[in-house]
Amino acid sequence: MTNRLQIAPSVLAADPLHIGREVKMMLEFGADLLHVDIMDGHFVPNVTYGRGMVKALKKGFPNIVHDVHLMMSYPEDHIDDFIEAGADELTIHVEVAGDVEGMLRYIRERGLKAGLSLRPKTSAEELLPYLPLCDLIMIMSVEPGLGGQKIIPETLDKLVYLREHGYKGLLSVDGGINQETMGLVIRKGGERLIMGTGLFGSPNPALVIEEARKIS
Ligand code: DX5
Ligand code: ZN
Residue 30 in domain: yes
Using one digit for the tens of pLDDT, what is the confidence trace for 32-46? Answer: 999 999 999 999 999
**Active site (annotated) includes residue 77:** no
| Residue 74 amino acid letter | Y
CA–CA distance, 61 with 58 (Å, rounded to integer): 5
Q: Quick one: which ligand is closest to 115's CA?
A: 2
Residue 1 in domain: no
Q: Above 50 in pLDDT, residue 137? A: yes
CA–CA distance, 116 with 91 (Å, rounded to integer): 5
Q: Is ligand 1 within 6 A of the CB of residue 144?
A: yes
For 127, the domain range is 6-215
Q: What SS3 class is residue 56?
A: helix
Residue 142 in domain: yes
What's the distance, CA 33 to chain centroid? 10
Residue minimizing CA distance to atom 10 of ligand 1: 147
Using one digit for the tens of pLDDT, what is the confidence trace for 41-62? Answer: 999 999 999 999 999 999 999 9
User: In the chain, how many domains are there?
Assistant: 1
Q: What is the CATH number of the domain that holds 27?
A: 3.20.20.70
Residue 72 in domain: yes
Under the banding of pLDDT at 50, 70 and 90, the label for residue 1 is very low
**Active site (annotated) includes residue 81:** no
Residue 24 in domain: yes
Residue 13 in domain: yes
Sheet holding 89-93, edge to edge: 6-9, 192-195, 170-174, 136-140, 113-118, 89-93, 65-71, 33-39
Q: Above 90 in pLDDT, residue 216? A: no
